[in-house]
């Protein structure tokens, strides 16, 4: 979670699908009353609150102060704190560590795995999902071509074998690992909103007008990601439809040795 400065209110209002998709991961976490659970990259706290509703004692951490402030405002009875996924410590070992849609922001994945392992009790479980190899590749390719910046990918999108080996080197025995395509509708924010939220920070040298032109050029380069009613692809003036991003997710369950 090394990239700071989020628009936490905009993230919560327009990107609720991020945590909504994560609800299926909670069934694999299976939190139990009385367990101590850490939510790494908790964002604005919606999934943290669902874990708390099970009766578990949960703490949420995120590297972005605005996210933590919003989470604390949303759920004042839950403890949240600012902490970096690649550099944190727990006073007491946890029964489980959970993370949804966050670890692809952590470029120092080895240190993150070490911190997660250190935070767990023996036989404690780690349950996570985040962007895997090939995630949003169509968007990234178009962004690179349009901007002229080569190899544009500030995120950590590992392959399955790579991440399994990394976890096991940190003392976590992988019990389940799966990488899968998950085409994701971008809702009312659309592709432009997605780029504004997740990509604009990597182009701080551009003016607002230059950024707007770049976004329009990216949209024009990926008509296959726009699904319109009665048409196969491509947004046209007056057409109704939605942008669908080419998400690819990596889901993993591991146990502390």
Task: Identify the band that residue 10 occupies on the pLDDT scale cut at 50, 70 and 90.
Answer: confident
Q: Residue with structure tokens 């703490």?
A: 59
Structure tokens at 36: 């101590």
What is the structure's pLDDT at 236? 58
Topology given in CATH for the domain delimited by 8-136+154-186+247-256: Rossmann fold (3.40.50)
Q: Give percent of the chain with pLDDT exceeding 70.
A: 93
Q: What is the DSSP letter of 6?
A: -
Computed over every residue of the chain, the mean pLDDT equals: 92
C-alpha 218: how far from chain center: 22
Cβ atoms of residues 231 and 242 within 8 Å: no
Cβ atoms of residues 51 and 30 within 8 Å: no
As a whole number of angstroms, the distance between CA 109 and CA 117 comes to 12
CATH 3.40.50.150 boundaries in the chain: 8-136+154-186+247-256
DSSP SS3 for 137: helix
What is the structure's pLDDT at 256? 98
* Residue 250 pLDDT greater than 80, yes or no: yes
Task: Name the pairing type of β-strands 184-185 and 172-181.
Answer: unpaired
Task: Identify the band that residue 3 occupies on the pLDDT scale cut at 50, 70 and 90.
Answer: very low
Q: Which pTM value belongs to this model? A: 0.91
* Residue 189 pLDDT greater than 80, yes or no: yes
Instruction: Convert the pLDDT of each residue in 208-242 to its tens digit.
Output: 999 999 999 999 999 999 998 655 555 655 567 99
Instruction: Convert the pLDDT of each residue in 149-164 to its tens digit.
Output: 877 777 999 999 999 9
Residues 6+ apart with CB under 8 A from 134: 157, 246, 248
As a whole number of angstroms, the distance between CA 137 and CA 72 comes to 34
């Amino acid at each position: 979670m090394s990239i700071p400065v989020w628009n936490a209110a905009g993230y919560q209002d327009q990107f609720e699908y991020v945590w909504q998709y994560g609800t299926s991961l909670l069934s694999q976490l299976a939190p139990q009353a009385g367990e101590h659970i850490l939510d790494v990259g908790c964002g604005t706290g919606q999934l943290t609150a669902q874990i708390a509703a099970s009766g578990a004692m949960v703490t949420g951490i995120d590297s972005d102060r605005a996210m933590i402030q919003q989470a604390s405002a949303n759920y004042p009875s839950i403890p949240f704190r600012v902490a970096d996924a690649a550099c944190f410590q727990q006073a007491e070992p946890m029964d489980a560590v959970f993370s949804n849609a966050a670890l692809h922001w952590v470029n120092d994945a080895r240190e993150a795995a070490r911190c997660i392992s250190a935070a767990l009790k023996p036989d404690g479980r780690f349950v996570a999902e985040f962007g895997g190899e090939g995630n949003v590749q169509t968007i990234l390719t178009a962004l690179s071509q349009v901007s002229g910046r080569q190899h544009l990918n500030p995120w950590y999108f590992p392959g399955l074998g790579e991440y399994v080996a990394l976890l096991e080197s940190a003392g976590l025995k992988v019990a389940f690992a799966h990488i899968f395509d998950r085409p994701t509708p971008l809702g009312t924010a659309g592709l432009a909103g997605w780029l504004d939220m997740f990509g604009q920070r990597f182009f701080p040298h551009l003016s607002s007008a230059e950024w707007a032109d770049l976004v329009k050029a990216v949209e024009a380069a990926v008509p296959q990601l726009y699904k319109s009613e009665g048409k196969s692809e491509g947004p046209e003036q007056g057409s109704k439809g939605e942008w669908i991003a080419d998400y690819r997710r990596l889901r993993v369950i591991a146990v502390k040795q």
